[in-house]
Amino acid sequence: MKIGLITGEFPPMPGGVGDFTKRLAERIRDRGHQVHILSRQGSAEADLNISTVRSWGPGCLPRIRAWARRHGLDVVNLQYQTSAYDMSPFIHFLPAALDAPLVTTFHDLRYPYLFPKAGPLRDWIVMRLARSSAGIITTNQEDDRRLTGLPKRRLIPIGSSIPRADCSEGDKVNAHWRAPADANTFVLGHFGFVNAIKGIDCLIEALAALRAAGHDLRLLFIGEKRNNVGSDEDAAYLTALEDRIERLGLADAIHWTGYLPEREAAACFKTIDLMALPFADGASYRRSSLIAAIHCGCAILTTEPAVNVDAFVHSENLWLVPPASSDAIQGAILRLMRERERLKRLRTGALQLSRHFDWDAIAGETIAFYRTIN
């Protein structure tokens, strides 16, 4: 098959959807299919066929149509995320602009910003894209439930953007940022961009309370702080968070790695005692940071899912707390600090859970779904 993948972000730009698209493209190609990628300017990958557009404004649709015709694509797969196309409404009208059938992979179904007081139009434009697509792939239970009733739909989870590191790689990173005198410090970790939905403000409050009570903890933020295609709201949240860290006197207890290559990020995962991902909207398959932590076998503290996820089992593969509660986070961290054997069981459970997010299985299911589209 000749398969086209469209994504609003792509390496070397940081971002979970871009990383997902790269890995999916590699595995589809390795199965003998032709893969062509279309993304924004700045995208680059020596081993993949990439074309770019300057913007996702009104001129993008004829450019995408010409790209699909030029490569004779059998199917086009749009990797949809509300913020990844510069909040442009035009990408939502892509199905009618193409000769080839369009499959839309919804990485989230959150409403995009269109213009002040857009109101119901924001929901309408996303659902219009879903209804007019020849096929729909959802990546999480929340979005799949919302699209119940639409034909040609399949739930296929995302895989990890971070490989597993061995212990020696983790030891090297550990020695680089943590002094030997701090060998007994309990290290919390957080992975992914900083924005309000991640619940990091609650984590910071819990860290401050625990340190004020005399507990020796530090927090390692792994990865870039902000997405290049993030919103002004994300920037404002980050600024407010950094101010709060200063006011609480936590600057010396927190380390930011900034952007790291994949293997270095994986090595950082090995240095932490507990990955803390307290999403304000609950744990979900849509969270690439959570999937990466599961894949790497971390002990993970996260928040209860908004909808039932059978694979997530409290105290077996994840430690789940109510969302938006610094007290619940504080209590969970304190308990897990004292129960190191439970941390080991959580790591083992995470590795077993990682089978749900195997890349070869994801690629195989995706190709099989493409074959059903005509």
CATH number at residue 325: 3.40.50.2000
Domain extent for 220: 167-357
- Are residues 366 and 245 part of one domain? no
Give the count of domains, the chain: 2
Tens-digit pLDDT string for the chain (374 aa): 999 999 999 988 878 889 899 999 999 999 999 999 999 988 888 789 999 999 999 899 999 999 999 999 999 999 998 778 887 889 999 999 999 999 999 988 765 544 444 445 667 788 999 999 999 999 999 999 999 989 899 999 999 988 888 765 555 555 455 544 477 899 999 999 999 999 999 999 999 999 999 999 999 999 998 876 556 788 899 999 999 999 999 999 999 999 888 889 999 999 999 999 999 999 999 898 999 999 999 999 999 999 999 999 999 999 999 999 999 999 999 999 999 999 999 999 999 999 999 999 999 999 999 999 97
Q: How far apart are CA 143 and CA 138, in angstroms?
A: 6
Strand order in the sheet with 102-106: 49-53, 34-40, 2-7, 75-80, 102-106, 135-138, 153-155
Structure tokens at 253: 């207890």
Identify whether residues 96 and 222 lie together within a single domain. Answer: no
Residues with Cβ within 8 Å of residue 70, at least 6 apart in sequence: none
Note whether 243 and 336 are same-domain residues: yes
pLDDT of residue 113: 46
Q: Do residues 118 and 183 both lie within one domain?
A: no
Which residue do the tokens 């290049």 mark? 228
- 39 and 50 within one domain: yes
pLDDT in tens, 169-214: 555 555 455 544 477 899 999 999 999 999 999 999 999 999 999 9
Report the C-alpha gap between 239 and 326 in whole angstroms.
20
Taking the CB of residue 26, how many other CB atoms lie within 10 A of it?
A: 16
Query: Is the model's pTM score more than 0.75?
Result: yes
Same domain, 199 and 268: yes
Same domain, yes or no, for 9 and 99? yes
Residues belonging to the chain: 374
pLDDT, position 228: 64
- Residue 82's pLDDT is what? 76
Cα 62 to Cα 94: distance, rounded to the nearest angstrom: 9
- Tens of pLDDT, residue by residue over 132-167, are 999 999 999 999 999 998 989 999 999 998 888 876
Alpha helices in the chain (DSSP H): 16-30, 60-70, 94-97, 120-132, 141-146, 167-177, 200-212, 232-247, 262-269, 288-295, 326-338, 340-353, 359-371
Say how many CA atoms lie within 13 Å of 323 toward its Cβ: 14
My answer on whether 184 and 313 are in the same domain is yes
On whether both 174 and 295 belong to a single domain, the answer is: yes
Closest CA to 190 of 253, 109, 110: 253
CA–CA dist 6, 10 (Å, integer): 10
- CB-CB contact of 89 with 16 (8 Å): no
Same domain, 57 and 135: yes
State residue 371's pLDDT score: 97
| 146 and 288 inside one domain | no
239 in the same domain as 143? no
